[in-house]
A and B are shown apart, each in its own frame.
Chain A
Amino acid sequence: MWASIAWRLFWRELRRGELWVIAFALFLAVGSVVSLSGITQGVKSALMQRSAQFIAADKVLRSSQPFDTAVIELAQQNNLATAQQMQFDSMLFAGDSMQLATIKAVSGGYPLRGELLLRASADVNSGEYASLAPGSVYVEERLFNLMGIAPGDQIEIGMLSLTVNGVIANEPDAPLSVFGGAPRVLMHLDDVEATQIVQPGSRIGYRYLFAGAASDLANFEAQMTPQLTAHQRWQDMDRESAIGSALERAERFLLLAGLLGIVLAACAAAVAAGRYSQRHTQSVAVIKALGATTMQIRLIYGSHLFLVVLFSLFCGAIAGQLTIEAAQWGITQFLSDYRAEFNWRPLWLGILTCVICALLFAARPMWRLSQTAAIDVLKQPTINLGLDKLQLVSGAVAIWGLMWLFSGEFVLSVGLFALCGLFALLLLGSASLLVRLAKPVAAGQSSARRLALANLRRRLWANSFQLITFSLAIFLALLLYFLRAELIGQWQQQIPAGAPNQFLVNITEQQRSDLNQFATQHALQLDSYYPVVRGRLMSINDEQLQQEATKEDRSQQRVGVGRELNLTWLSELPANNQITAGNWFDRDSTAQVSVEAELAERLALKLGDSVVFSVGGEPIMAQVSSIRKVDWNSLQPNFYMILSPDLLADFPATYITAFYLDAERNQLLNQLARLMPTVTVISVDTIIKQVNDIIEQVTVALSFILVIICLAAGLVLVAQVQATLEQREQELAILRTLGAQYAFLRNALILEFALLGAMAGLFATILAELMLVIVQQRVFNLPFQPHYTLWWLGPVLGVVAVTLLGWWQLKRLLRMPGAQLMRKVLQG
């Protein structure tokens, strides 16, 4: 029988509109979690897809051994598209001219991701678009100058003669390193055999390219990984692309934004559940007096919560999914080849969040409701919006659990949670202080101010929770706004306007003065010169290193670098390098070397180890004196090995420098190439453009999330004011009956909300500044900088938002005639 009572009550409550508050709060929780998580996933997936263009595929398997058809078949069985590519260095011949070049041979279907742009001309900016066919090649623009060739000419690669059809205008997976090296040539894979270049022992890189749905890729990777041979490895996308760290930061930030949405939704759910419980206390006392047991009450009201959860889950999931669809549509406007993929994660995260919110926020008030004593039927109903300790604890556990669940980072969740706890304590302490201060202040004020202060004083105690949530909502909006600005600033700083976009490599000592003259003549700002000497690492602590993969079993031998390294010598540590162990050279340092951290790890190098390089056939011995972390995304010349200045000074070196060139003056590069044909010009313009594109997309995504957070914050404020509605109705009814004028009540109300908003805004500002300090120092590794704008924006936002929302919700009550108000209160 309880079920029919429960259903009837539920249905009527829905009609009366009271259960909608709790349903809406949970709907908000589910909707915001599903949409935020979905958008996060969508943006992440868009960024991944975008960066997939940098490797021309979703997944790349590199190998030093010829293609294995079994790998391709396995990929095809997993519904993946495949392509192959080979890369090797070879001499090109065109008449009398010859040039070392990096040849890339690709199969049909290349690229699987990104865009390959070929033009039937010698200029990347003009000419017909073309496609690659067997028998032809496309070459990097500088090769036309270097070899004195033109489109239509023949060049020889090994034993094969091929027609130069045009220029490579855009190659999605072109190397990003400033040591790009030899000019690049693109040929068809079918032509490789005829060149007869592939011989046993040739150094050729083989790449399998794969693309397809995320789940198919994951399956394929899981099947393939155990079968990988010593010669095969997956290509790590992040290390290859300059957007790796931008991606990582974007993901962290979007997760943080999602987390804020949850906290807001959780607060809304708690407020709504508390209100619901309050409103039903007397009904429960009546039902109990009429003979209901506690279990029956739990079943009746528990089923209400269950139905509300079910309803909210359903609607929230649909609304969230629609938002995701809209966001994905938005992403496609930026990224035309973006492929939206359905993902279960936002849905189950939303379900889990709803269940956690319902159990740990809403279940406690329900439990309290079931414990209402039958004797309360004889007592006057009271409205108590105070804090229930157990609900506070269960709510806190829920918030932390959700933080952990959503961020997936234990330390971050504990840190953030501890900070929120500290904030809550700070608020309670400040509220208590204000209670003491408000009384003497109120004594000397006009009656409207006195009423506002009296209301505030009373509610500050009863509704500390309200102050905390107001503050939290404003804090989140402020934090997101400032963090967004900070993050975008950070990204833009990474590639500031006017940063060098043209690198010059292979400059001889004699060419330096010519180059300086050229720069002065054309008003170009040259970066400093980095000397470079090519050398091979031969031994570590007198142990000979394995130099390349051979058929002999040398597994016992220590692994080397496998190629020549660019060695430099510097007396000052480069700006984007950070010493992680040992010390940088001092004036007296001799025979020392500083090693890049990841290479040191790969070679198992420690401080104090002695290494021998072979430079021009001469052994150079040095001791490892420091290990450096290098920011590979800095678009600056970076070095694995930096030697102390004494070691290489006598060797003939070449130099690297860089300068910034406007796109309109690109013809200067041709002049430079004619003037110094041996100097290699490497343009990073395309990379910078790609990174800027991504920054733009992430900025739009962040603005979208900011809007969602602001909306959620506004809804929490609305829910909070709604929770005090009955109490305010009673008070207003009494005051109106006692003859209070409309203007008097309006002024008191506005003043009360303005004061509350100012307090909440101030608290939010303090917390936001604290949080920004932590983020600046821990996430961005930056020194602290105060945010002056925040200190006026926070309180002003608090006053305006809280007053407007309060006024908007209560103006109807204020305008209601006294008699009507009294009847409403009496009828309950």
Chain B
Amino acid sequence: MKIPEVHIKAVNLAKSVKVTDGSLTILHDISLTINRAETVAIVGASGSGKSTLLSLLAGLDVPTAGEVHLAGHKLHTLSEDQRAAIRARDVGFVFQSFLLLPSLTALENVTLPAELAGDKQAKQRGLELLQQVGLAERAHFYPAQLSGGEQQRVAIARAFITRPAVLFADEPSANLDAATGRKIEDLLFSLNAGQGTTLVLVTHNDELAGRCQRQYRMQAGRFVTAKEEMAHVG
């Protein structure tokens, strides 16, 4: 039997932020491991710390304490620019509010990460991806000319352009109506399966989380089991 390769590992992660009177701890003692090509959901209510955890795992931010390993890199020891280089190569993102650059066309938004990484085939690959998400005809539209669902499809195409090893998705369907949201989720999972990408999905939606292989539940900056969460709510 093949031993699964650990792709993301967090050890005793903690994150505190300064507030007016002292500091506030947002994450407490988080440890997790995610294997290559695994799909994992981090579930929790608003303010539970799940987006903060995503930012640490993706190398967007650094922990106050603990370690983060991503694809063999010790993110907690690297500078902002070193982490940026890893993001450019190994990480893709899908955000809740799409975050497309308003002054670039759909195609240009898709190719942006590849161009930053110096990929000369970016345009070709961008067109292919837009084809896959069903927006080939809108390649030269600006974000303001696209609907919310279309914008998120562009964002998904952008996330896959560098063939990332890990994809982080932050509430990818929360800003969309139920039907469009479901289409976006389908697209995300199908592309992910096709490329064998590790998926870390942050959501408050149990149904969406249920489509992942594993779930981590968060409450007040800590991992809890479903039972613990129910007990707390109860």
Contacts and interface: CB of A to CB of B under 8 A. Distances in A.
Nearest to B84: A293
Interface in A303-359: none
A286 B144 contact: no
Contact of B51 (A2, A13, A287, A378): A378
A374 B54 CA distance: 13
A12 B93 contact: no
| Chain B interface, >50% SS class | helix
A292 B88 contact: yes
A291 interface: yes
B99 A291 contact: no
A736 interface: no
B85 A291 contact: yes
B91 A291 contact: yes
A331 to B, nearest CB: 46
Contact of B103 (A9, A373, A375): A9
A554 interface: no
Contact of B81 (A2, A9, A13, A293): A293
Interface stretch (B1-9, B20-28, B114-122, B180-188): B114-122
B104 A290 contact: no
B222 interface: no
Given A9-B103, A286-B101, A377-B95, A292 B84 contact: yes
From B108, B116, B118, residue with most partner A Cβ within 10 Å: B116
Contacts of A296: 116
A5 interface: yes
Contacts of B101: 9, 283, 286-287
B116 A378 contact: no
Given A283-B103, A290-B93, 14 more contacts: A1-B118, A2-B116, A13-B103, A286-B99, A287-B112, A289-B60, A290-B88, A292-B84, A292-B116, A293-B84, A293-B85, A295-B81, A374-B80, A827-B143
A387 to B, nearest CB: 21
Contacts of B60: 289, 373-375, 377-378
Contacts of A377: 60, 93, 95, 99
B112 A378 contact: no
Nearest to B93: A289
A295 B80 CA distance: 11
B49 interface: no
Contacts of B162: 291
A294 interface: yes
Contacts of B119: 1
B147 to A, nearest CB: 11
Give the top 9 A-B pairs by smallest Cβ distance, nearest first: A291-B88, A12-B103, A375-B61, A290-B113, A291-B87, A293-B81, A375-B60, A374-B60, A1-B115
Interface in B33-61: 51, 54-55, 58, 60-61
Contact of A378 (B85, B144, B158, B170): B170
A16 interface: yes
Interface in A1-22: 1-2, 4-5, 8-9, 12-13, 15-16
Interface of B: 51, 54-55, 58, 60-61, 80-81, 83-89, 91, 93, 95, 99, 101-104, 108, 112-113, 115-119, 143-144, 158, 162, 170
Given A374-B80, A377-B99, A287 B104 contact: no
Contacts, number: 89
Contact of B115 (A4, A12, A13): A4
A282 B118 CA distance: 23
A288 interface: yes
Q: Interface residue tally of chain A, by bracket?
A: 20 to 34
A16 B105 CA distance: 13
A291 B103 contact: no
Contacts of A292: 84, 88, 116
A12 B104 contact: yes
Interface of A: 1-2, 4-5, 8-9, 12-13, 15-16, 282-283, 286-296, 373-375, 377-378, 827-828
| Chain A interface, >50% SS class | helix
B116 A828 contact: no
B80 A294 contact: yes
A9 B105 CA distance: 10
A593 to B, nearest CB: 79
B160 to A, nearest CB: 12
Nearest to A13: B103
A373 B116 contact: no
Nearest to A12: B103
A296 B103 CA distance: 18
A9 B104 contact: yes
Nearest to B102: A828
Contacts of B88: 290-292
Contacts of A374: 60-61, 80, 83-84, 87
Given A286-B101, A374-B60, A375-B60, A291 B116 contact: yes
A8 B104 contact: yes
Contacts of A13: 103
B139 to A, nearest CB: 14
A282 B55 contact: no
A4 B86 CA distance: 22
Given A286-B101, A827-B144, A291 B113 contact: yes
30 contacts: A1-B118, A2-B116, A9-B101, A9-B104, A15-B103, A16-B102, A283-B101, A286-B101, A287-B112, A287-B116, A289-B58, A289-B60, A290-B87, A290-B93, A291-B86, A291-B87, A291-B113, A291-B117, A291-B162, A294-B80, A294-B81, A295-B81, A373-B60, A373-B61, A374-B60, A375-B55, A377-B93, A378-B55, A378-B60, A827-B143
Nearest to B92: A290
Contacts of B103: 9, 12-13, 15-16, 283
A288 B84 contact: yes
Contacts of B115: 1, 4-5
A15 B105 CA distance: 13
Nearest to A295: B81
Nearest to B161: A290
A378 B170 CA distance: 9
B112 A290 contact: yes
A286 B95 CA distance: 10
B177 to A, nearest CB: 15
B54 to A, nearest CB: 8
B47 to A, nearest CB: 13
Contacts of B83: 374
Contacts of A4: 115
Contacts of B95: 377-378
Contacts of A12: 103-104
B44 to A, nearest CB: 15
Contacts of B85: 291, 293
A297 to B, nearest CB: 10
Given A13-B103, A283-B101, A286-B101, A291 B81 contact: no
A288 B101 CA distance: 12
From B84, B89, B99, B119, residue with most partner A Cβ within 10 Å: B84
A589 B122 CA distance: 100
B76 to A, nearest CB: 14
Nearest to A285: B99
Contact of A289 (B81, B87, B118): B87
A574 B99 CA distance: 81
A289 B98 CA distance: 13
A107 B95 CA distance: 89
A295 B79 CA distance: 13
B121 to A, nearest CB: 12
Contacts of A378: 51, 54-55, 60, 95, 170
A129 B198 CA distance: 102
Contacts of B143: 827
A827 B84 CA distance: 27
A12 B54 CA distance: 32
A298 to B, nearest CB: 11
Nearest to B113: A290
B126 to A, nearest CB: 13
Contacts of A15: 103
